[in-house]
Each structure stands twice: as C-alpha cells, then as structure tokens.
C-alpha cells in the first residue's frame, strides 16, 4: 500500500478506466477520523495507513462517465476491517441484498462477486438463489467465516489478485452495483446483458 494518496496522473476510473479525472471534493485525515469518532469508532494509526491528520483525501470524478471514487489504495487494511467487525456495523439482512439477488436471477446471471463481502451474508442469499458465489474481503477473520460457509473468498485487493493470476479473477463480472461507495456487487453472466 502506498504511504501517500495518489494524484490524478496515477489513477484511472474504477468504472470505465479513463484517465480523465477531476477533483470533486476532499476531506482531511483529521475530518475522516472525526467522522468515524462521531459514529463511535476509533482506529489505531496502523489501521489507516496513508491517512494522516493533514492528508487531503480527494474524491475524484471521471469526466467521461461521471463515476466518483477515492484512491483505492486508501480503502483500508486488514486491521481497519477487523476494527469494524461487529454485529452493529454489518447488517446480515439488508433490502439491497434481496433486490440484487432478484436482479441477477431474473436476468439469468450465473456468478456473483461481492467485493467487501464480510462474513458472506449477501453471498448466503445469492447462493440460495442459485448463484455461484465469490467474495473479496480484506479482513482475514471475516473472510475465514465466509469461507467456512462454502463461498470462494479471496483476501487482498483486486489488482493484487490479477497480478497473482488468481483463477477466480478470470471469471467475467461485467455488471456491478455500488452501495454507499464502499460496497460493490459484481455479477457475471453466461450470456450478454441486454443493452
């Protein structure tokens, strides 16, 4: 993980891969810690690598497709997600889980990749809907719980998995859904999606 946030020249849009980005908004590391504190969360400094009190954390916007995102290298490390792990933070039954599973089944999709899958609650529902389940989770404890339920789980960043030629990454996941910019659901089809 980088020690400093990236600039626009070193990033690409996470949605369309365009290099045409603009600065949309920003927070300082101090503001981010204050927001987490208001939510009842404290993190040791080693859980927020690259985010220092005076760091400017930039929200980038792609000028081609409009997608907004933060530098993915600042997404947090395994300690960050271990600090978040609690029954109050991750809800096992969310309305978007039902909607996404219905969407995938109604369109004849076969595979679902849950980026940030936690203990696999969404994957449990997806599997009961007949979908093949995959997850990506940085918290090794949560990843182990999801694996114990029978889901194929990778720990690490997508870019690291690609470099390691992890077999699951060769599966196509052309459809994705974002919730709160922190959770992404990617679904794969055995046939092209209708335009």
Range from 45-49, 80-84, 140-144 carrying the lowest mean pLDDT: 80-84
If asked whether residues 70 and 151 sit together in one domain, one would say: no
Q: Please give the angle made by the CA atoms of 178, 81 and 23, to the nearest 5 degrees.
A: 50
User: Does a structural domain hold residue 146?
Assistant: yes
Query: Is 191 a residue whose pLDDT tops 50?
Result: no
User: Does a structural domain hold residue 114?
Assistant: yes
**The domain containing residue 56 runs over which residues?**
8-75
Structure confidence at residue 30 as a pLDDT band (50, 70, 90): very high
If asked whether residues 69 and 153 sit together in one domain, one would say: no
Distance between CA 31 and CA 46 in Å, rounded? 17
Task: Give the mean model confidence (pLDDT) for residues 59-71.
Answer: 86
Q: What pLDDT is recorded for position 82?
A: 82
Structural domain count, the chain:
2
If asked whether residues 65 and 107 sit together in one domain, one would say: no
Task: Give the mean model confidence (pLDDT) for residues 152-159.
Answer: 71
Query: Is 190 a residue whose pLDDT tops 60?
Result: no
Report the 3 state secondary structure along 116-161.
CCCCCHHHHHHHHCCCEEEEECCCHHHHHHHHHCCCEEECCCHHHH
User: Does a structural domain hold residue 63?
Assistant: yes
Query: Is 118 a residue whose pLDDT tops 90?
Result: no
Q: What pLDDT is recorded for position 154?
A: 83
If asked whether residues 52 and 138 sit together in one domain, one would say: no
Task: Give the mean model confidence (pLDDT) for residues 39-45.
Answer: 86
- Residue of 72, 19, 67 lying closest to 50 (CA atoms): 72
Range from 92-101, 131-140, 168-177 carrying the lowest mean pLDDT: 168-177
190-195 long-range contacts (CB < 8 A, ≥24 apart) are 190/108, 190/109, 190/110, 191/108, 193/107, 194/107
């Amino acid at each position: 993980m980088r020690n400093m946030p990236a600039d626009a020249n070193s990033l690409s849009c996470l949605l369309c891969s365009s290099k045409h980005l603009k600065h949309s908004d920003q927070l300082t590391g101090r503001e981010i810690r204050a927001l987490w504190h208001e939510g009842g969360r404290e993190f040791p400094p080693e859980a927020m690598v690259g985010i220092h009190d005076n760091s400017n954390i930039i929200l980038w916007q792609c000028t081609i497709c409009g997608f907004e995102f933060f530098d993915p290298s600042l997404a947090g490390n395994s300690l960050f997600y271990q600090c978040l792990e609690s029954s109050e933070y991750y809800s096992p039954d969310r309305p978007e889980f039902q909607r996404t599973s219905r969407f995938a089944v109604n369109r004849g999709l076969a595979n679902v990749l849950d980026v940030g899958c936690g203990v696999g609650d969404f994957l449990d529902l997806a599997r009961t809907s007949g979908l093949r389940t995959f997850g990506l989770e940085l918290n090794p404890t949560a990843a182990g719980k999801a694996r114990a339920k029978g889901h194929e789980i990778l720990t690490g960043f997508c870019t690291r998995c690609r470099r390691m030629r992890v077999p699951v990454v060769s599966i196509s996941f052309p459809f994705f859904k974002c919730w709160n910019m922190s959770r992404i659901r990617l679904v794969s089809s055995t046939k092209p999606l209708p335009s």
